[in-house]
Amino acid sequence: MAKIAAIVVTDKQSVGGGAPIFIAKDQAEQEKLAFSLEKILDVAAHDLKNGMIILVDHSAES
Amino acid sequence: MLALLKEKETISVILGISFGIIARIMMLRTDYRQYPTYPHGKVIHVSLGVIAAGLGAVAVPALLHKNYTAITFLTVAAQQFRDVRNMERQTLSQVDEMELVSRGKTYIEGIAMVFEGRNYLVIFCAFLASLFSSLFQWYWGIAAGLISLLIAKKLQSGRNLGQIADIQIAPIKLDGPDLYVGDIYIMNVGLTDDQRIIQEQAMGFLIIPKNKNVKVTIANLGQRQAILHNLTTILGVYRDEGEPTLLPMAKLDLKTGNLAVFMLPREKDEQIALQVAKSVPVLENAVRLPSESAATKK
């Protein structure tokens, strides 16, 4: 199963839980943060279409 | 020395070995895949081919001399060529870990199997040439050798994707982060930067199976990986390590059984790409024939 490596949001209230959470000021910063994290962590960024971008490690095994 | 050359047995063994070696060299094609690698991969397989040819050719005089125990070492040969298969599997699996788009296990098994099978074909060619020149005149040996070469050539080539399915170019669509090839959902691309690259570079195919047997074949994950690997080998791939989003992918349309292929080629030429997709080999291990089942024949 793939693993969520990080979550990038603009709205602090919308998340909580086990994965590292990064909070951006606005959408532009969110996009930049997600881009950097994608390259640094070697994981894929996915847009949940509710203002949240999650970074998922598809190579992680179970 | 000359007297030895005139003996029938010597001639038949020489003919057998020659045809065996010709068969091996004929079946040892190094094409765009560059496999077996040149020069050492080729040296290995030609050498093994010589051994196989020798075994096949010598078996006939041994039989004619009623030396039946000598035939048992053909089993040693079988063991030897199973090892060839293992060797190829190991090498390819190791190399596969370092590929940008991997071959996949099914493709590797297929290639390894081919190497083993071709050695047996070499034994068969050598045996026939040797047998006919032992029993009849030497020129019958040559005739039998030529016919066995034709048979080996026929057995060498499998089918390709273009023969079992219709392949067409399909448009790439991005609906926000959602990526589609035609109407088939491929994946979610989160970053606008990646979306832009995909918009510029990507190419899509739709593979439409011609019958229900083919549906099973193209649904096989190994066959799909082989399609992606072959396309990237020839067209190049717009991808690097650390870019997990730029990943060529193939997804099924569950309703129809069509396969959508998402590609990121370096050379974006639709006609060449279509040609390449059609020439992808159908993997022996991916073929199933549900139409041959007794349950469906009624």
Domain boundaries, chain A: 3-57
R_g (Cα) of chain B, nearest Å = 24
Measured torsion, CA atoms of residues B32, B33, B36, B38, in degrees rounded to the nearest 10: 50
Whether B244 and A53 lie within 8 Å, measured CB to CB: no
Q: Which residues of chain A have a CB within 8 Å of the CB of B188? A: 46-47
Which one of B177, B193, B247 has the shortest CB-CB distance to A35?
Answer: B193
Q: What is the largest CA-CA distance in chain A?
A: 34
Collapsing DSSP to helix, strand or coil, B253 comes out as: coil
Q: Which residues of chain A have a CB within 8 Å of the CB of B174? A: none
Amino acid B30: pLDDT: 67
CA distance A35 to chain B (A): 7
pLDDT digits (tens, 9 = 90+) for B178-206: 999 989 999 999 888 889 999 998 999 99
pLDDT digits (tens, 9 = 90+) for B30-85: 666 667 777 888 888 888 889 888 888 888 888 888 877 877 878 888 888 888 88
CA distance B197 to chain A (A): 14
Amino acid B62: pLDDT: 85
> Residue B61 burial by CB count (10 A; 0-12/13-18/19+): exposed, middle or buried?
buried
Mutate to test the interface with A, among B188, B189, B197, B243 (most CBs of A within 10 A): B188
Among the residue ranges A16-30, A33-47, B7-21, B62-76, the one predicted with the least confidence is: B62-76
Which one of B176, B194, B242 has the shortest CB-CB distance to A49?
Answer: B176
Residue B208 has pLDDT above 90, yes or no: yes
Distances (CA, A) of B245 to B136, B151, B203, B231: 66, 46, 15, 18
Residue B229 has pLDDT above 70, yes or no: yes
Whether A35 and B191 lie within 8 Å, measured CB to CB: yes
Minimal-distance CA residue of chain A relative to B246 = A44
The set of residues, in sequence order, having a beta carbon less than 8 Å from that of A3 and lying 6+ positions away, is A56, A57, A60
| CA gap B298, B296 in Å, rounded | 6
C-beta separation of B286 from B215 below 8 A:
no
